[in-house]
Structure 1
């Protein structure tokens, strides 16, 4: 039997590929996936799905049936349990409830990268942190210049965000033209960017505090942290604590999605069961006996994963196929008729299209100049500029911050128009730059 680590899940939702030799043949635990299935699991499909749902929302909001779109957003849904009652509109359930699941996944990815991923290395982390900081501060500054003294000044956090699904989806579409180091750099940059967005939301886009619920939230998070420190592996326990934490955070005045990130940092990542002991369970036999043994071994491998990895793998399809498409459908519908491009739209456009690449390249250049970091292998400054353009795809996070920044429809529409237009242009500029304007050193060397 062969057990090999394969990085991210590509076969069975597990980071391990298991096969057993039987009469000279290798029998996989899971059947191979078709090309369509592999495409569905790729980053490019996640971006394509978001594009499709956003287009549907935009067309719906500008069709003769536009009233039904906005009526659906404001439909009230009530959840009652005893005396506890939540009465929120459908849009709030999506933005405060479903998006908490998205932020839980973001938090899990941040924690994994900090402990065992790209951000665990000081030099790689320094490059990503410097580029991400530049890519947040410069766009926010440019937006502030356009909106200083205007009603839209509170939207400075909108152009700070990067949509990791879209950005990595574009890189996936470019395939072998892009060096692996650039994909790693953009992933790490987006993770740091997400962390910055979470801090901005928590610190600057929060309503008045309810100290009682804030204390209950702190107590619940403390219980989750203790469970993590004690190595509790049951995801059901974290699920119950997570629902309570979400409710208390929602009632405290903090934005409810912060609960997802807080819970993520409590879920343990250590692996208590050594994988070496699994090799003693090599299956033998034929037919149904072999199949049963392989299924038992697959279950054992699944249990050997840390709670963080198991939860992350479970959430990826939920976020990709449900949370983000539903969010895009609920938030990308902007009626063009009667709308105008004002200082908010211009600030978002300039921030994402100009501020992002300038900030990313400037931050990375400063880190390299100070010898805090080096560029990844085969990555040039042209590649970094292309990554900066792709970082200007704000979409999900930028639309989310727009909803927090503005309460008036006029300013919110301006912000959404700016986000949608900037994201499309940033995707085209980034892909075009990397496809035409940058020579891949590896490909060039191979052709010489």
Structure 2
């Protein structure tokens, strides 16, 4: 491995945190595939009624599905926030010159898919779904990339990881801005007030995790009743948890390490099981020819790779950043298809974008099919593009 690349790894993550992160995302992606297939099979079997009823069973007055989507997924967003915080302080986003390539790539990977979706759906009842093809599922994308083994250069893993994290931030902003209907300002201000209190604790170097977790729960409850989606609390909380030097003793680092496995192996699989129970009827042709289904497919399969490639090419051509020496434009275009694996975030935004259960179900199917197509194309394109003889140490 080149000395410069070793320096990059040391700069990005403390110790083996990047490798640990990549390995967790790889395993999590494979488990998500298994859970999705299981859920689809169960929803279309003789056990469909019982299986679907399981997720609608009331727990403390709300369906289990609700607690997964509004409760457990907040922890997922907390992990995303912690990863984003690390990227900003010590990683790819800490140096603006290094950050510009994945930033431009992510920007193109959000704007072009949303534009293509709106081109087909503007002025219709489904126009609110424009945020659906903007998302990238980091676990699935890195899971597919990992299947290519040591032929994948480290710079490509870093590029895709940074792109996906920035993409997640974009999705969070979209959720907060465009999918909030009515705001109860009192509850919102209380939630933000608690966040301010935690920020003060941070600045006074209070490094005990308990007050931050208790405060986070209070933030979540008031955010849940404010009209803004409660999962945004996870990201806000991440940025008031002490980061320090980002070393092994940092609360942020410890929490990030602790959350990787429960999020990857419990929370996301539960989300997949609860939200991919899609009944596929005889009207499958009608499903995939709906304008919103076509918009999702066009956005994820075409818009993502084209947007990522064009905006990256523009940034490099203008001299704003450089393409890593061990990558080429074919590789960037190929990995752009992995950016088209929307899954978790796309399904999550679907639940916020639509109220009609039929549209939600059809949109989920379009997401799964499009993500599958994008993933398969990306895998085989990268397999052909990456040099067979070159192996990289990660």
What TM-score comes out, normalization by structure 1 length?
A: 0.81
Alignment of 1:261-340 (within 5 A): 261-271=235-245, 305-337=249-281, 339=283, 340=287
Distance in 2 of aligned mates of 1:349 and 1:228: 44
Q: 3-state DSSP class of the match of 2:146?
A: helix
- Name the CA shift for 1:94/1:366 in 2 (closer, same or farther; >3 Å): same
Alignment of 1:125-136 (within 5 A): 125-136=99-110
Which of residues 169, 172, 178 is equivalent to 1:198? 172
Partners of 1:179 and 1:442 within 8 A in 2: no
Q: How many residues align?
A: 376
Distance in 2 of aligned mates of 1:240 and 1:71: 33
Which residue number in structure 1 is paired with residue 372 of structure 2? 424
Which residue number in structure 2 is paired with residue 443 of structure 1? 390
Which has more radius of gyration?
1
Q: 3-state DSSP class of the match of 1:236?
A: helix
Distance in 2 of aligned mates of 1:325 and 1:138: 29
Gaps of 5+ in 2: 1-9
Which of residues 28, 34, 37 is equivalent to 1:55? 37
- Name the CA shift for 1:42/1:100 in 2 (closer, same or farther; >3 Å): closer
Which of residues 283, 302, 305 is equivalent to 1:354? 302
1:72 Cα deviation from its structure 2 partner: 2.0
- Structure having the higher strand fraction is 1
1:442 Cα deviation from its structure 2 partner: 7.7
Q: 3-state DSSP class of the match of 1:120?
A: coil
Residue 382, structure 1, aligned to residue 330, structure 2 = yes
Distance in 2 of aligned mates of 1:381 and 1:99: 35
Distance in 2 of aligned mates of 1:434 and 1:368: 21
Q: 3-state DSSP class of the match of 2:148?
A: helix
Per-residue CA shift, 1:7-46, capped at 9, x if unaligned? 2187xx8x9xxxxxxxxxxxxxxxxxxxxxxx9x543211
Partners of 2:24 and 2:264 within 8 A in 1: no
Q: 3-state DSSP class of the match of 1:119?
A: coil
Distance in 1 of aligned mates of 2:282 and 2:51: 17
Which residue number in structure 2 is paired with residue 293 of structure 1? none
1:377 Cα deviation from its structure 2 partner: 2.4
Alignment of 1:335-414 (within 5 A): 335-337=279-281, 339=283, 340-341=287-288, 342-414=290-362
1:444 Cα deviation from its structure 2 partner: 9.6
Distance in 1 of aligned mates of 2:388 and 2:268: 35
Which residue number in structure 1 is paired with residue 16 of structure 2? 7
Which residue number in structure 2 is paired with residue 95 of structure 1? 69
Which of residues 136, 143, 148 is equivalent to 1:162? 136
Distance in 2 of aligned mates of 1:338 and 1:233: 57
